[in-house]
Structure 1
């Protein structure tokens, strides 16, 4: 059975974490997730990536604790290193990545979500948080680094040092989630996510521009502003040379709706 189910249709690649009951990740799942990210990256017909969990109880509850309990420190270090590399690959992919969170999103599951560009959760569907401190460890799949960049140092330290979990409504208030939607069912929620994601898919959007906006922000936030501006100029030049930029400018001058292709 695949641990990461891959499906692509209508410009959207959906990566489903599939390891019942809690969709916990192992080395094998991370290897499959890594491969799925690369598949979506190389597919020119894919413009948006959606990551979700199988079932309606869990997005992902993080690393498989039983697996880690039986592993030696050498394996654990390389396991964390590979997970870091996989999520960096997700961030470096110049396509918009959306986490569709229906169910609990805790520990490493939240760390996966934090590596996505946007996080949409279903109201009342579960808990979120980074409770690793209660196991005597720290969030080791990027949580300490991405959380502090998202909510600031004092709040990030408090959330991780206390280690509590909280409902999705509180996660929205804290800025961990970007949207919180009511949905009649698990299927209804994911249908709404797909419909919302279509706004970033051609012909509705210049998806290449969306992807390079992501790259400018992801990299630019980590470097000096002068270097960030240089990066911005280079990415802009790439867009000036694109078919979508020519179409967008022509459509504006002709007072018509542009028909983007993602090229």
Structure 2
């Protein structure tokens, strides 16, 4: 590789990094700026001259942020558990079990990816309302507890397991549950981590569906509750930035804990011997 090519790659990397990380750094910087600092200067200043955590304390005083965080964690936990359990079972069934209509089921999962979520949101709300789950956290979590994309991810992960290993388990007398537990699951831990991370982020960041389902203020999730902050303090971008950072922290923690499994899932396909 020539010197020019290296320089071009590094410049391109810096540009992409600035585009992706720049808005986050600006929000973080704004959330730490004191009341005496001007955040609308022509020359952006990423390093606060008067750093303070007072904006975060003001967010907690303005809205019941810890209640909203607890509600979001409940919804996210239900979605993560639901997707990990049901997507794993469905993916294993479609990939490893033989039953009539298997190709039809797989085709239906693929077909659901074509439809945007807004197409089915009315029917979802009617179903949730008929079940008596409107204005409840379970009603918010239920439609997201299994996603077709996650089923297909698990289906693809289970297909990567060599057929010989699966057949050897069958010859040893293992039933379907034993094959799933002792043969298949150890080989797809990375994909399960990917599903867990995506499910958590999707549930945590969701705004439209909780806004439709929830009416009681104490049951609002964090993304919906932060809108009250923006409406109340629309002129103080410091508090809005602090609220955004509070919403980001759980996602950063989850990814930090599961990152080694996440990258394993990205390149998963080999089976340990």
Give the TM-score, by structure 1 length: 0.25
Q: Tell me which of the two structures has the higher relative contact order, counting C-alpha pairs closer than 8 angstroms and 6 or more residues apart.
A: 2
Q: Which has the larger radius of gyration?
A: 2
What TM-score do the two structures reach when normalised by structure 2? 0.24
